[in-house]
Structure 1
């Protein structure tokens, strides 16, 4: 019993020590390490990983940072890499984004480059299991290859009729087209497994965004004011005819009511 209590105390002390270590590190580092550990794929698994990050950076540096990540990818600085999408939004509220497909070993380095001098506000990592798709594609390839080989052997027969030969040739062309498509799908699946998709969104810090929104509101004051005035004028123009008709109908109703009232008063006087 005493030994069990000693082990329990040791385990509790170890957990507390781990908790203190985790608390002593910054939240950003801890989140980054957790996400980095989550991408470790078991041997032989068919997992397609995707990473989505939101990085807060000085608005003036966003454009050059997007360019730096793009150049690092295109030069294969961190391994096999391809730029899939680049976007920037100018103005006071500047933002940018870039999407790349890169070898697993280059994921963390290119993320480090993107977040240098900034803060990783959020990071999400998920994987799609392609095991079933890979198995189905491989099965399709094997089936088409066997059928193609059988038709090739059948095509070599000397007693084949012309009609049968044409039918075999047509079927072989269909098989070759299907096999080419299956090979393309297999290559795409292999690329998704061997590389990882990284999407980086850049934005200014919260303070900069707030100031830029206020400045944008002031800059748009004139156009918003004139648009509102124009709307009021259009509304008045649309309501004036309706008002005229309502006034005319009301005037007629009042006149008829007064006339009827005078008749009743005259009849009562008699």
Structure 2
């Protein structure tokens, strides 16, 4: 019985070593060559792109918050297709601004940009794309490997000649493999979501002329406070420098008296 126990422990250890080697990207030169070769052959690989758009819009200050609300409503009602509001920020006062981050179906990007810029002026716009083809392929390979490993472990579990220690070790290995499969599936779903939908960031701010007027109005409103701060700073500086001035003046008188005495002598 002890010999059978040692045999099963050896089998489990061997499978663990093989799993570790397979999961290590540096373990096999052939795997590296395949990855680099596939990445280099762009014509043979399908590009799986995750797009991100950023748009700036200048509006009248009074329109910024209502326009943000219109974007939120359009996303919530799926007016332009599937939409998820990820972030919404607004700032009122003298420098009103708003920011919205949405994940949308590709067909809804342009209509949502048009809605965000309605009544305003389009500013800067940028689009970037990340190719996830290699990441998706590696994730698929990892899921296949883990699924096959789980099947082998479950086949061992069905045997009736396992000791209690072997069953415990095998159960722990199966649980760990199932957790890895679930994590890989979640990663794959996230990659698929980034490919099937696109990220849109809309930044709205007041027009340049309006911002300039706001700066002037703010300066007038802050005049009293600024004057008080400046006066207080001047008083503190005077109090700090007054002893130094007195000491410097006394030193000057002493040096002048010494110079006159030497001149008379």
Q: Same fold (TM over 0.5)?
A: yes
Give the aligned partner of residue 221 of structure 2. 219
Could you tell me how far 1:44 is from its partner in structure 2? 5.0
Distance, in Å, in 2 between the alignment partners of 1:257 and 1:166 is: 100
Give the aligned partner of residue 114 of structure 2. 112
Distance, in Å, in 2 between the alignment partners of 1:224 and 1:176 is: 65
Distance, in Å, in 2 between the alignment partners of 1:167 and 1:60 is: 67
- Aligned residue for 2:174, secondary structure, equals helix
Distance, in Å, in 2 between the alignment partners of 1:150 and 1:219 is: 76
Q: Could you give the per-residue CA deviations for residues 41-100 of structure 1, whole angstroms, max 9, x where no partner exists?
A: xx9531111111111112111100000000110111111101111111111221111111
1:95 to 71, 94, 97: 97
Distance, in Å, in 2 between the alignment partners of 1:248 and 1:138 is: 86
Distance, in Å, in 2 between the alignment partners of 1:157 and 1:252 is: 107
Could you tell me how far 1:239 is from its partner in structure 2? 2.2
CA RMSD of aligned residues (A): 2.1
Does 2:192 match 1:193?
no
Q: Which runs of 5+ in 2 are unaligned?
A: 1-44
Give the aligned partner of residue 140 of structure 2. 138
Distance, in Å, in 2 between the alignment partners of 1:166 and 1:245 is: 87
Does 2:175 match 1:173?
yes
- Give 1:232-251 correspondences, 5 Å limit: 232-251=234-253
Give the aligned partner of residue 8 of structure 1. none
Could you tell me how far 1:122 is from its partner in structure 2? 1.9
Give the aligned partner of residue 10 of structure 1. none
Distance, in Å, in 2 between the alignment partners of 1:241 and 1:146 is: 85
- Aligned residue for 1:87, secondary structure, equals strand
User: How many residues in Structure 1 have an aligned counterpart in Structure 2?
Assistant: 221
| 2:86/2:101 contact within 8 Å kept | yes
TM-score by length of 2: 0.76
Distance, in Å, in 2 between the alignment partners of 1:249 and 1:228 is: 31
Aligned CA distance change for structure 1 residues 242 and 139 (closer, same or farther; 3 Å): farther
Give the aligned partner of residue 85 of structure 1. 87
- Aligned residue for 2:93, secondary structure, equals coil
Distance, in Å, in 2 between the alignment partners of 1:90 and 1:147 is: 57
Q: Which runs of 5+ in 1 are unaligned?
A: 1-42, 266-270
